Chains A and B, each alone.
Chain A
Amino acid sequence: MTVTYRDALRMGLYEALERDERVFLMGEDVGRYGGTYAVSKGMLEKFGPERVRDAPLSELAFVGAGIGAALGGMRPIVEVMTVNFSLLALDQIVNTAAMLRHMSGGQFAVPLVIRMSTGAGRQLAAQHSHSFEGWYAHIPGIKIVAAATIDDAHGMLGAALRDSNPVIVFEYPALFEAKGDLTQSTVDIASASVRRSGSRVTLITYGSCLPKTLAAAEEVDGEVIDLRVLRPLDTETILNSVRRTRHAVVVDEGWRSGSLAAEVMARIMEQAFYDLDAPVARVCREEVPIPYPRHLEEAALPQPEKIISAVKSLF
């Protein structure tokens, strides 16, 4: 079945609400407005105000309320409209959701799912174009997943709800109109996935950089790995490929310094150093606030041409 990425998210959400009475959706504009990206359109009418709840404009409060509900036996899905606003809820996410299992000596699990959209490329300027996946992937105690394909947009939410730990599911507005076939009814949230086989270089990416990386891979015989799970990283899949191609380029929409790309590169260096035939390269967001004009925004983000030239620099 061919659907858009947005349809796939909506189907995943619908199935989750239908499958389990304990699941409810909470966030800004998710009910009457149908979601900022129209993902929860029609859900209020179908499931009622108890299970599709419009929250006040306080990320800190409604993420905290979600944690409480999870502790109380529910399976909440909290939608933080975009990663840009999630900074207001960092204390609840980092200090409470991620730490509570440890702080309670294992007595409490927090089976909370937080959905957030993330990324640039839509001319929303500096404050609304962040890519903070790497920041969240820094924190032990939460699982971080990034949906870059139709199957993952559909299936990651269900997999996250089956996990008894807090999970953040990142969604990519840059991909919302992408179309594709729904091929799997469920997906795992444990492994990275090889999206294209190649022999010359391993290209490692996630999220909305996946289509750009696939385009570049066509030109350079690249093997493309979609990380999918940003924490904990599936290092084995990366190493298996790099040991074969002996060359790696990491493509990350986040800023370069202290990026998730840096972590992936470090692991390759730690565990596959003697297999490398060239330094590991990366293509990241330029280290500037994202500019508003389209051409400058494009110039600040990873693009297929930049990926191709990074690959060429290794040979």
Chain B
Amino acid sequence: MIEFKLPSLGADMDQGKLLEWKVKTGEAVKRGQVIAVVDTSKAAVDVEVWHDGVIEELITKPGETIPVGTVMARLSGAGEPAVAARAPAPKPSAPSPKPAAAPAPSVPPALRKPASPAARKRAHELDVDIEKVTGTGPHGAVTLEDVEKAVKPAAPAPAPAPAAGADRLAEMRKAIGAAMSRSKREIPHYYLAETIPMHRALERLSRANESRPVTERVLMGALQLKAVALTLRQFPELNGFWRDGAFHPGHGIHVGVAISLRQGGLVAPAIHDVDQRSLEELMRALADLVKRARAGSLRSSEMSDPTITVTNLGEQGVEAVYGVIYPPQVALVGFGRIAERAWAEDGALRAAPVVTATLSGDHRASDGHRGARFLAALREQLQRPEEL
């Protein structure tokens, strides 16, 4: 039996609301198939299943809000006999004298909500119903702080109302706030910056775009993503996660792209295996991702596994961006505006387009020395745009 649990779709997600099941009990599903749509505070996310199998039981009901890690459904694995088939089937030819008992629905035992002793004591003192408090402690346990937070607004909110408009924005700010506070609390950031001449990269793009229809033009954002991804191959310590006190290198280079949303807030879903894709593929993936992010329909696999984040605030006109790392990632690369500057090269002064690339690094996973080498390698990579 396989348990299908609500995955964490980013460090800032601790719960989600099931919007709909895309499958029915008894239906066969394939690895990678979208089986549910879950509303995080940021977006409605299509959640994929990671095993082939048959849906045995859908536990969570649409509309329910559940913590990350909750078992939402049970599947029998491929090759495993379905539960129904395993149960002794009543033989039609020889009717059993006893009426076959209806198979007892597997009702989970009524578990008490996990809550710390201090939280229970305080909830009792404040007359708070602890069952209604959202837990943020280990295994979703309600902590003392959760109880105290729950009484701050006059009364504990009843059922979470469907997040929409201002509510959703407030929820998102809260989620971003939690993730960024955690980042600044736990991650010892270091910051490096490097000015990179961009005339070669710009020439390469405009040459390539000449022959393309407007809709298929490749933008600098895609080229920068590819340059970062190729450079990262030599710097595995910047590509991965810091978990349980140790660095875990990422499997593949999945670049999270920071996308601002129209109503405010942002998401940073991943484009997978960026180093192995052509510029054209990347551009299509990027355009698709931005469109879907803004429409609020992202896939769980995109939300859960970026190994590094790239943010580009050039369009907003800033010179450089010093980003906050998105935990559990260990690095963030930022690009500012491409602008013409007086640039000395080979002993001559010229006007050249340059961009400031920055690296925010997690000092637990890497040191400034390697970070500096990374930015230097990125600069050199962008001088060889034909490789991108």
B-binding residues in A (CB < 8 A): 246, 273-279, 305-306, 308-309, 312-315
Contact = CB atoms under 8 A, between A and B. Distances in A.
B118 A246 contact: yes
Nearest to B137: A278
Contact of A277 (B144, B244, B245, B246): B144
A240 to B, nearest CB: 16
A305 B245 CA distance: 6
B117 interface: yes
Interface residues of B, number: 15
5 contacts: A274-B118, A277-B118, A278-B116, A278-B137, A278-B141
A309 B244 contact: yes
Interface of B: 116-121, 137-138, 141, 143-145, 244-246
A314 B144 CA distance: 13
B138 A277 contact: no
Contacts of B143: 277-278
B155 to A, nearest CB: 23
A315 B137 contact: yes
Given A246-B144, A313-B138, A315-B138, A275 B244 contact: no
A217 B244 CA distance: 15
B118 A275 contact: yes
Contacts of B117: 273-277
A118 to B, nearest CB: 27
Nearest to A246: B118
User: 7 shortest A-B CB distances, which residue pairs?
Assistant: A305-B245, A277-B116, A277-B118, A309-B245, A274-B121, A277-B144, A309-B244
Nearest to A216: B245
Contacts of A279: 138
A275 B120 CA distance: 10
A211 to B, nearest CB: 18
A12 to B, nearest CB: 37
Nearest to B188: A219
B137 A312 contact: no
A277 B119 CA distance: 7
B138 A278 contact: yes
A232 to B, nearest CB: 26
Nearest to B185: A221
B238 to A, nearest CB: 21
Given A274-B117, A277-B119, 16 more contacts: A246-B116, A246-B118, A246-B144, A274-B118, A276-B117, A277-B116, A277-B118, A277-B137, A278-B138, A306-B245, A308-B245, A309-B244, A309-B245, A312-B245, A314-B138, A315-B138
Nearest to A311: B245
B244 to A, nearest CB: 5
Most chain A Cβ neighbours within 10 Å, of B117, B141, B143: B117
A277 B145 CA distance: 9
Most chain B Cβ neighbours within 10 Å, of A273, A278, A309, A312: A278
A278 B135 CA distance: 12
Contacts of B121: 274
Contacts of B145: 277
